[in-house]
Structure 1
Amino acid sequence: MSVINNIRKHSGWAVGFIGISITLFVLGDLFGNNTLFGGGNNQTLGEIDGKEINIQDFQSRLDVMRQNYEAQTGRAAGEQEMTALREQAWNQLVIDIAYRKQYDKLGLTVTDEEMVDMVQGNNISPAIQQAFANPTTGAFDKSAVINYLKNLNTLPVAQQQAWADFEKNLRADRLRQKYENLIRLSSYVTKAESEREYMAQNTKASLRYLYVPFYSVPDTTVKVSDSQLESYLSDHRDEYKGVDTRTIQYVTFPVLPGKDDSTALSTEIKTLARGLASAANDSAYARMNSDIALPMDMSYASMSDQLKEAVKTFIPGGIYGPYREGDTYFIYKYGGTKKDTVSTARASHILISPANPSDSAKAAARQRAEAILNQIRGGASFEALAATNSTDTQSAQRGGDLGYFQNNGSMVKPFEDAVFSMSSAGLVNRVVESQFGFHIIKVTDPKSNTLYRMAAIAKTIAPSQSTRDEAYRKADQFAASVDSKAEFDEAVKNDKSLVVATANRIPESSSTVNAIQNAREIVRWAFDDKTGMNKASKVFETDEQYVVAVLIGKTEKDEVKVDDFRDELTAKVRNKLKAEQIMAKLGAVGDLDAMAKKYGAGALVETTNDVTLATGLLSSAGFDPLALGEGFGLKKGQKSKVFAGENGVFVMELVDKTEAPKIADYTPYKSQLQQAIESRAAFLLNEAIRDNANIVDRRAKFF
């Protein structure tokens, strides 16, 4: 039975592996009743490469996937799981239809002999190796596969079907690999391209330049008209793709527990605390009475800040609490500590990634990382430097914080080794290199492998029915009083307790509205053909609140308007107008210092030495390929004309240029380019297939 569970597990892995190749669409996650909202009896879910996808056929496929998931996990699929399964089912259809057409054109197949080789031959599939790994050693056991197949016909029908599905996924995965490899290996880098890359990485120039950044001209001094925006959009239509979205404003009426609700729970949890203290099996008692499943063994990292402070005073056998965190009360029976097999730590980092895989780019990245480390050693704020320098944009928003993690391979090895070599909090006194770049690391909570045994009960304050009824009454009264945007605004103005929120450009497939989860009903209302502009909605119930909304904006895929991209277009046109002003004021090209002095505030004259085309950065302007290209194209001592770059207006002067010496072998540079092309091949291939298949996706109308 454990083998078939592994097969189910890795069947999902195989399907998921296929699914990764397709760019995911965002889906809604509430299934209607097989009816097309606002679309009469149309049962067509979409179209792939000219083939219509019927909702019943899709649902049949989805039902099989749901049943496999529930058999694998032992629990019913929730809304979040169903969203993922619908996405997987759709991606399988793309594979089966759009990809299959390409396979057939090329004559690609996976023979039965190949399948035998993948399952029990000399080239075992990774999925088979994982499914039949020895549970003790983790090593693959081929004899287990052979024995399983010998007895396959004696197994229940459901298990035989699971194996058939597993093999089907293996075959599909191998076919996709063949196709992608065929495209990937058909790419070629010429000697001329390799030589050009070598020259870009190794030819160095010293540039002196006049730079007037666009931001030096206040935005308020440059007026942008709608006609200018229309003209710009018309000239750059291909850059601005239309999409169906809606913008709404809304107010919420939260269902918050009242004083009576809190009092009732407080009494209940005191009774539970006495029961927990006397329970013969405290862990079983806690599980039966807790609203939230809590682990018996807690690491310090997994605790709330309140519990971290409190646990220092706990004595084994004692009952502690209740502690309130939000709307939840916690009580704990403390059972002492034990040692875990892995350690946990918390750290922050600043990641400096090279611009490309070349040695020169890596050297430049290391040099920059070393400079940042020196700034921190000198007293600079780690968090501030992370926010402005780290190429890990997600952690940069948190000052570099990565949260807690274990030394179990969850982080790349050089990073993990550096963090867990620290016995106390503080800065790792060196730059750490990994495949992602160069890390400056600060350990904020040092390693610990202590686990705290806690029998814990969590009880959440639930609003009573009378509380819910009162919240709905207020929402319904508000909705009944408004029909238009004007009435909506007036009603909000008269009720100081209401706060208007705006959700911009909601896609039709979205299941959320800002932070509101399970909001498909609101999204469907916003996209309903019967919903007019500036019209207010009925009352929607979402999670623990009621919502009343008003539709204030829409964009259409087939009709791109200035308002759809107003902010982006305004910035582009404004910079263009600024460039014209700056260039007119600078006048004719002459001595750079004299030009800057004549221009006045905002003009900078700077020099950048030993810059390359491949990795070049200008001091204040940063990465500006237009300026770099203009500078490298000059002769020694020559100045460029006045021109607009990416971030401002320039006059470039080439002070000196050292050409890269000729070499006999450009193979390393050819390999770099080849690897870059091959790494993009699968993604670009999928994009091309999708575009060629003319996929029409109407799933949001059904789910």
Structure 2
Amino acid sequence: MLIVGFALFAFIIGDALTQGSTYFNKSRETVAQLAGEDVNIKDYTANIDQMTEVYKIETGQNELNEDITNQLRTSVWESMLNEKLLFAEAKKLGLAIGTDELSDRLIGNNIHPLIVQRRAFAGQDGKFSRPALVQFLNSLETTPENDEMRTQIEKAKSYWKFWEKNVKITLLQEKYNALMTKAVTANSLDAQSEYEAAKKTFDVSYVVQPYFTISDSTIEISKSDIKDLYSKRKNLFKQEANSSLNYVVFSVKPSAEDYKKVETTINNLSSEFKTTADVAAVVNTNSDIRYDGKPYSVQTVPANLKVFAFGSPAGATIGPLFENDTYTMARVMENGIMQADSVKIRHIFLKKADESKTDSIWKAIATGGDFAALARKYSAVEQTAANGGEIGWIVADVQGLDKEVLTKSFASAVNGIFTVKNDQGTQLFQVTAKTAPKSKVKLAILQMKVSPSNMTVSKIFNEAKQFAAELKGEDFANKAQEKKYVVRTANELQAATDKIADIAQSRQIVRWAFENKKGEVSDVYDCDNQFVVATITDKAEKGIRPIEKVTDQLKAELIREKKAALMIEKLTAQLAKTPSLNSLGATINSELKVAPAVNFSAYQFGAAGFEPAVIGKATTLGANKISAPIKGNAGVYVIQTSNPTVNNTTFDKKMQISMLNSRMSYSLPYAIIQDIRDKADIKDNRMNFF
């Protein structure tokens, strides 16, 4: 019985553990909880990958640096957050985007600007082209003939899905905004108030005593004053969880031995480089820059070689030169070249089975045949065939195009025809246009940048490692000072902070700061060309900032209040003696100024800027009267109004309401979505993954 009971117990526990394992695995894959919905890390990273590919297509960049990658990841997060919250709110209100409605804005008669503005759907004139859009969409249905083509089609599908989704979200946002702006509208009382506020206008003369004319050190603020104000202001001091660091950076730079080694190497190569008949072999074996025979123009040649390149005969050499940690030698291989920067080409691709048609198609083109019609009939590349074989403009250093195609394209005359053959088949090309030829030169450049050797890197790493090993948190600043290291600070880092200052790959340090306690000292972090050792100086939980963190801010406000009280007392006494602005200005050394055309609806008080209390007083003071001292934002003011002007335009309730609603329509949608975000239960677990 005992054995049976134990076996039953083991079975129950085993089953519970299996279910628990599934739960915890799922929990570990949750990057966020938004609007009551779990977001799986796979979905999040898929969206990041999609936006990355879209960015590459839109910008033409293939290599993205760390900053761009971080920006894209943050952009995906913000988009996902807004999308989830928007769809949740829209569902409550019964808002949706119908299939026909979406189709009309994607490919119908009312195409959305998000589609119209895409370069991928532009015609030869650079403007949006419906045929180009249709051609693109048709290409998504093409049966791939190889893996490369399959990859390109998948990227194109992902690109379209991205913009399709964004159009749908934008349309839903527009519907939601329209509903909200109609629900919150100005009424007749608002309209009347706005009309009255702008009806009467004054010119306002004023003198001001700035707060900075009284030294802060002369004002006493007690701890109880600060505590009382903190109690009143608490809700203004909300904070997210954060960590603060002190850190030391060990820059990885070449040593004197590294410089000497490269200098010796390039000097030893100098004679051979200047005399060899096979300069390509010497350069491509030793240089950071390959020699491929492509000519340089005045615009593309390195700036420090421009004068030499275009002012020297063939065979001339220069260097070694040293600049920006780089040794350089150059040799003019050919000059006097006149070549276009860009050429425009079109093609017809014939598969192996159709190569026998090459000569007849060539002859047809050469005798005036319609190239576009032939391309549509015979070319196997559907995407370009549908557009008459057009590839478009290419430049000499374009990436991804066969070198033979490039060479022959630039060597051919306008309307010239050439073929390029490979394992897949034969392509006929025709050059249809060229930019004006420019002077160019072929230049062989042997360049060697001085980089830290492994020995140098190891030495710097060991120095950082030794520093970290000797430390406790409280000793960090003192030990660093003893070794004459510069201690830097990173205050109140957020869990989602991607980068500390300008330190590459420093996200790993942020994660460490949130996973460890105050006072901990890190190991050495490898951050590209820098090693970093850090200590956690402070940690704070989500909630209200403690009083000691906002004491300076509160004290500054209290000091200003006390200064205002002192100034008002003295200015009031002075006004009793000399009740004129000129006299008062002379007494307090303040120039008499004028704020023109002030009314109650004004946002600015002349050159003084945002001073609502002064504006309010000016509109109720009465003409030619001198005010009592007024506490403003920048100082204490005394004002006098003149030149009252009344706008006798008849009150138009409908127009006033329309103006107010129009003004509100810009800020209300943002305020609403921000309020939804503030009230949403958002759990951000990105730190566990990135």
The alignment's TM-score, normalised by the length of structure 1, stands at 0.66
- Say which of 496, 499, 503 aligns to 1:512: 499
Map 1:434-445 to 2 at 5 A.
none
Q: d(CA) in 2 for partners of 1:259 and 1:563?
A: 49
> 1:217 aligns to what?
214
Asked whether the 8 Å contact 2:66–2:504 carries over to 1, the reply is no
Per-residue CA deviation, residues 410-463 of structure 1 (Å, 9 max, x unaligned), is xxxxxxxxxxxxxxxxxxxxxxxxxxxxxxxxxxxxxxx999878566543210
2:476 matched to 1:488? yes
CA deviation after TM superposition for structure 1 residue 681, in Å: 4.2
- 2:36 & 2:634 partners in 1: Cα distance? 45
Residue 312 of structure 2 is aligned to residue 326 of structure 1: no
132, 151, 160: which one pairs with 1:166? 160
Partner of 1:45: 31
- Which residue of structure 1 aligns with residue 592 of structure 2? 606
Instruction: Show CA shifts across 1:619-671 (max 9, x none).
Output: 77444222122112111233333331111112333344222232466888766
**2:262 equivalent to 1:265:** yes
Alignment of 1:382-397 (within 5 A): none
When residues 651 and 296 of structure 1 are mapped into structure 2, their CA distance, relative to the original with a 3 A threshold, is: farther
Q: Deviations over 1:300-343 (max 9, x none)?
A: 79977x778x679844755555554433445556768999999x
2:566 paired with 1:569: no
CA deviation after TM superposition for structure 1 residue 208, in Å: 3.3
Residue segments in structure 1 that go unaligned for 5+ positions in a row: 1-38, 343-448
> For residues 450 and 202 of structure 1, what CA distance do their matches in structure 2 show?
66
Corresponding residue of 1:474: 463
CA distance in 1: counterparts of 2:633 and 2:31, whole angstroms: 44
Aligned partner of residue 590 in structure 1, secondary structure:
helix
2:226 is paired with a residue of what secondary structure? Answer: helix
Cα shift at 1:466: 0.8
- Pairs within 5 Å for 1:533-552: 533=519, 535-552=520-537
Equivalent residues of 2:564, 2:636 under 8 A apart: yes
What's the counterpart of residue 235 of structure 2? 238
Query: How large is the RMSD of aligned CA atoms in angstroms?
Result: 4.6
1:658 equivalenced with 2:645 (yes/no) = yes
Among 238, 244, 250, the alignment partner of 1:247 is 244
The equivalent residue for 2:385 is none
Aligned partner letter, 1:509: A
> TM-score, normalization: structure 2?
0.67
Mapping of residues 100-499 of structure 1, within 5 Å:
100-129=87-116, 130=118, 133=121, 135-146=123-134, 152-156=140-144, 159=153, 162-163=156-157, 166-167=160-161, 169-184=163-178, 186=182, 188-189=185-186, 193=190, 203-269=200-266, 271=269, 275=273, 289-290=287-288, 314-315=311-312, 319-330=317-328, 459-485=448-474, 487-496=475-484, 498-499=485-486
The Cα of 1:210 is off from its aligned counterpart by 4.0
Deviation at 1:213, TM superposition (A): 0.9
Distance 1:307 1:619 in 2: 55
Task: Return the alpha-carbon distance in structure 1 between the equivalents of residues 41 and 679 of structure 2.
Answer: 23
Aligned pair in 2 of structure 1 residues 697, 276: CA closer, same or farther (>3 Å)? Answer: farther
Shift of residue 180, structure 1, vs aligned partner: 2.3
Quick check: 1:500 aligned with 2:481? Answer: no
Alignment of 1:532 onto 2:530? no
Q: Does 1:582 align with 2:567?
A: yes
2:674 aligned counterpart, secondary structure:
helix
Q: 1:174 to 1:512 in 2, by over 3 A?
A: closer
Asked if structure 2 preserves the Cα contact closer than 8 Å seen for 1:475 and 1:539, the reply is yes
**Structure 2 CA distance, aligned partners of 1:219 and 1:168?**
56
Check whether the contact 1:592–1:605 (CA below 8 A) recurs between aligned residues. Answer: no
SS of 1:482's equivalent?
Answer: coil
8 Å CA contact 1:579–1:648 kept in 2: the answer is: yes
Higher helix share: 2
Give SS of 1:641's match: coil
Matched, 1:648 2:642: no
**Secondary structure, in 3 states, of the residue corresponding to 1:510?**
coil
- CA shift for structure 1 position 182: 4.4
Rg larger for = 2
User: Does 1:626 find its partner at 2:613?
Assistant: yes
Question: What are the superposed Cα offsets for residues 17-46 of structure 1, whole Å, 9 maximum, x if unpaired?
Answer: xxxxxxxxxxxxxxxxxxxxxx99844322
- Quick check: 2:250–2:460 contact (8 Å CA) kept in 1? yes
**Secondary structure class of the residue paired with 1:658:** strand
Structure 2: which amino acid aligns with 1:694?
D
Q: 1:511 to 1:188 in 2, by over 3 A?
A: same
- Give the secondary-structure state (helix, strand or coil) at the position aligned to 1:246: strand
Alpha-carbon separation, structure 1, partners of 2:299 and 2:155: 45
Partner-residue secondary structure (3-state), 1:604: coil
Give me the whole-angstrom Cα distance separating, in 1, the residues matched to 2:591 and 2:540.
44
